[in-house]
Amino acid sequence: MGSIWAPQPGPQAAAATCPADIIFYGGKRGGGKSDCLIGRQIRGVEKHGNNWNGLVIRKKYKDLAEIRLRIDKLIAEGLPAERIGGDNQTNTVRFGGSCQFKLCAVTRPELLDDYQGHQYTEIGIDEAPNLPFIARALDKLKGCLRSAYGVPCHMFLTGNPGGAGAATIKSTFIDPAPPGTIMRDPDTGETSIFIESSLADNPALALNDPMYVRRLMSIKDPALRAAWLDGNWEIFVGQAFSFTRTDHVIKPMPIPQNAQIYSTFDWGFGAPFSWGWWWVDLYGRVYRFAEWYGWDGKQPDVGLRLSDSQIADGIIAREKAMGIWGRPIIRITNPDCFSKKPDYKGGGQGPSTAEVFSGKQIYMIPGDPNRKLKIRQFRERLAVPMDENGKKIGIPMLQVYENCLQFIRTIPYITMDEIDIEDVDTSCEDHIYDEAALIFMARPIAMREDRPALLQSDIRIDSLEKPKHDSFEQYAAIMAVKDQSFWNHQQREGAYSDLDGR
């Protein structure tokens, strides 16, 4: 049959014909991504006939509406196919014979099991970053890609920055290599690629709706503009926290001898566990100086499946290597680590995680897991001090050493819950968030409030009490000298010998 769909020149054409095993086509808004996903299915049918069986997935049934409308339009224009199925069930686009592709929604990760045993020549996932379980989807659906007739099988993903699965997409496709670079897994030989899209690559949209670009440019929300116009994967709508390398990440420095050290722990087995080490300065600012994230480094949100005793041994080995084993450390974990675990008798007769750790001289205390409060404390710690003109006048109450790679990787990609605006989306990779929040809840700081306008007398007194500095750098240098003087004084006086600076 003659083709009723053809790609536009440039990135869309490259994405439509790309031979890589897994393709991610995305970035900026308006690049014709969903249309390319449909076009690849149509071209597959045209080339392979009855040997083609495709699958198109989105998170929700209602999200398939635009795809259904586009297919109906193509059918009206002469595409020799029919769409079978109502709006709220699986749709099948059938071309006659056995060649077809299905439109399905996968709202929950357990629904992925419904596709086990199926055979598909190409699986398309539209708006893949919106799938919180995209890492699991990639793994499970790969088992469905096979053909008894020698048809090359592919997976084709689309999407923009943002969404609960954005961290997985970024670490899998964006970070490893520049756009357009074929990446090859050294173990399996599987190839993958990121093809970047942009509105400039979709002249048909610009021609038919010339105001579209202006509407995007008029968006006042800077996060929305950065994501949709610039394809910025560092900032996007729905982010729970404003975490940046500029404000929050620092080079490692020695831990002051008398600084109190903390460690925090979020248990995990099938999912990653997270252990963080912190120290606290004179002003209550916390520094994350080391971490141990229980994953294999390849599959996001998949745990190492270590026993409690293995984790405890790993903690001891790491603390000895850092030279902090034996120092007073306040260790905080979630209360569920104090619950008895099932043994061979069933029920809860087995020792808790905290008991196993205590047998290794790692003594834990339960932290406060209140979800409504910890997100507020997390934000307060991240807040950058500003004056009334929006100029930075200090550093946040949280600093992260640049070697804490998993904190830096996961925290920016935690999104807000779609229903509960006072909580994060727990389907994200939120293990480090839950772990880190334990120290913030243990050392809470006052919530910011809008200050009333100062009276003239208050301003005069305020100006007399506050020292003036030419720059933030000068202020920071003076504070550093004061910090060191304080610690030197405490060492001379022998103060805090029992609590190690607490």
* pLDDT of amino acid 450: 46
CATH topology of domain 245-442: Nucleotidyltransferase; domain 5 (3.30.420)
CA distance 402 to 411: 14
In the chain, CATH 3.40.50.300 covers 11-205
Q: Give the rounded percent of residues in the chain with a pLDDT score beyond 90.
A: 53
Contact 29, 228 (CB under 8 A): yes
Q: Where is average pLDDT lowest: 109-113, 232-236, 283-287?
A: 232-236
> Which tokens is 136 given?
């699991």
* pLDDT of amino acid 438: 97
Dihedral angle, C-alpha 164, 165, 170, 171, nearest 10 °: 120
> Which tokens is 439 given?
């120290």
446: left (phi over 0), alpha (psi -120 to 50) or beta: beta
Contact 145, 123 (CB under 8 A): yes
Number of neighbours of residue 14 by Cβ within 10 angstroms: 19
Contact 38, 75 (CB under 8 A): no
Helix (H) or strand (E) holding 380: helix 371-382
Q: Which amino acid is at 487?
A: W
Q: What is the pLDDT of residues 92-102, one digit of tens each?
A: 999 988 899 99
**Which 8-state DSSP code applies to residue 154?**
E
CA distance 400 to 405: 9
Given a cut of 80, whether residue 34 has pLDDT beyond it is yes
DSSP conformation letters of 239-263:
BS----HHHHEE---PPPTTPEEEE
* pLDDT of amino acid 350: 86
In terms of Cα–Cα distance, which of 424, 458, 491, 334 is closest to 132? 424
* pLDDT of amino acid 207: 62
Given a cut of 60, whether residue 257 has pLDDT beyond it is yes
CA distance 214 to 229: 11
CA distance 198 to 16: 15
Q: Give the chain's mean pLDDT.
A: 83
Given a cut of 90, whether residue 10 has pLDDT beyond it is no
Given a cut of 90, whether residue 457 has pLDDT beyond it is no
CA distances from 403 to 115, 132, 255, 492 (A): 40, 26, 15, 32
Looking at domain 11-205, its CATH class is alpha beta
Number of neighbours of residue 252 by Cβ within 10 angstroms: 12
Q: What is the pLDDT of residues 139-179, one digit of tens each?
A: 899 999 999 899 999 999 999 887 778 888 988 999 899 99
> Which tokens is 464 given?
């007399």
> Which tokens is 482 given?
């004061």
Contact 323, 256 (CB under 8 A): no
Q: At 204, is the pLDDT very low, low, confident or very high (cuts 50, 70, 90)?
A: low
Q: Which residue has the tokens 């020149």?
A: 9
Q: Where is average pLDDT lowest: 68-77, 122-131, 368-377, 423-432?
A: 423-432
Higher pLDDT, 454 or 288: 288
* pLDDT of amino acid 346: 67
Q: Where is average pLDDT lowest: 24-33, 49-58, 243-252?
A: 24-33
In the chain, CATH 3.30.420.280 covers 245-442
Helix (H) or strand (E) holding 184: strand 183-184
What's the whole-number mean pLDDT along residues 53-70? Answer: 90
Contact 288, 374 (CB under 8 A): no
> Which tokens is 188 given?
């399996």
Helix (H) or strand (E) holding 265: strand 260-266
